[in-house]
Amino acid sequence: MKNIGFIGLGIMGKPMANNLLKAGYKLIVYDINTEPVKELVKAGAKGGKSSQDVASQSEVIITMLPNSPEVKEVVLGNDSIIDGAKSGMIVMDMSSISPIASKEISEKLKQKGIVMLDAPVSGGEPKAIEGTLAIMVGGPQDAFNSVKDILAKMGASVNLVGDIGSGNITKLANQIIVALNIAAMGEAMVLATKAGVDPEKVYQAIRGGLAGSTVLDAKMPMVLDGNFKPGFRIELHIKDLMNVMDTAKELNSPAVLTGRVLEMMQVLRAEGKGKNDHGGLIQYYEKAANVEVRRKK
């Protein structure tokens, strides 16, 4: 069984690493925050001293980091993965970053005989804990085949979608659709509430039809309870939509609706709501209409 290095033990990374431990994999872990490292060491992992140290002891490395700059630093910076890596190693970046950055990092690693896969995830903290994430992978087929069993311990759906960068393109497509679904839900339910119609009854009436969606079923009950405790924070969705806009500009591809929803989310962040669940986007509409979409008591 492969020795796996895991770097980045935040809200998503820690439960993902824990699921690999439960599956019996040998794990070497590292994070600049020492608390999750200590927790995982207690659970059976080995603690690494740096990204370079983790790389020197691993055959496969997983990174789960906030954004492109952090991934570049951990993979290519000082005391980094590339300094400790051996030819033939596979680096799986499971962060949600710019596909352009994924390609740049992959090219640098390839010069040392290291293969990179970009493998971002969808599902948020609850599915990270359950090990039922959706994982979208870009990179060579043979490398994917060799790590698919590892990925299957963290996700219920694991799909190779194309060459390096394709995983993050797929994730960006996912994030566009999720953001626009949430915005549409907010717009519709504020309209219903403003008209004096019970939003819970509207939800129950439409959820079985074409307007029904996984997003609607996940977020509408939370909104009705006024529960904006994050599964996925607005500030993180802003990061993803910023990557959409950068990528769209690079590809000369229109992103009109994404740009508008991004602006709404940025307004909420400026109001101190950036750490709310992204379902809290409805608060933008609620404030404008001076109503709250809540369950009738």
CA angle 88-90-93, nearest 5°? Answer: 155
Active-site position among 127, 171, 219, 273: 171
Give the separation between CA 222 and CA 232, rounded to whole angstroms.
Answer: 13
Known catalytic residue: 112?
no
- Do the strands 155-162 and 133-138 form a parallel or antiparallel pair, or are they unpaired? parallel
Token duo for residue 108: 């640098």
Task: Count CA within 13 A, CB hemisphere, residue 6.
Answer: 29
Of 288, 289, 285, 292, residue with least CA distance to 184: 285
Of 263, 24, 116, 34, residue with least CA distance to 14: 34
Contacts of 107 (CB under 8 A, 6+ apart): none
Q: 199-223 in b/e burial notation, b at 16+ Cβ within 10 A?
A: bbebbeebeeeeeebebbebbbebb
The three-state secondary structure class of 106 is: helix
What number of other Cβ atoms are within 10 A of residue 267's Cβ? 14
Catalytic residues: 171
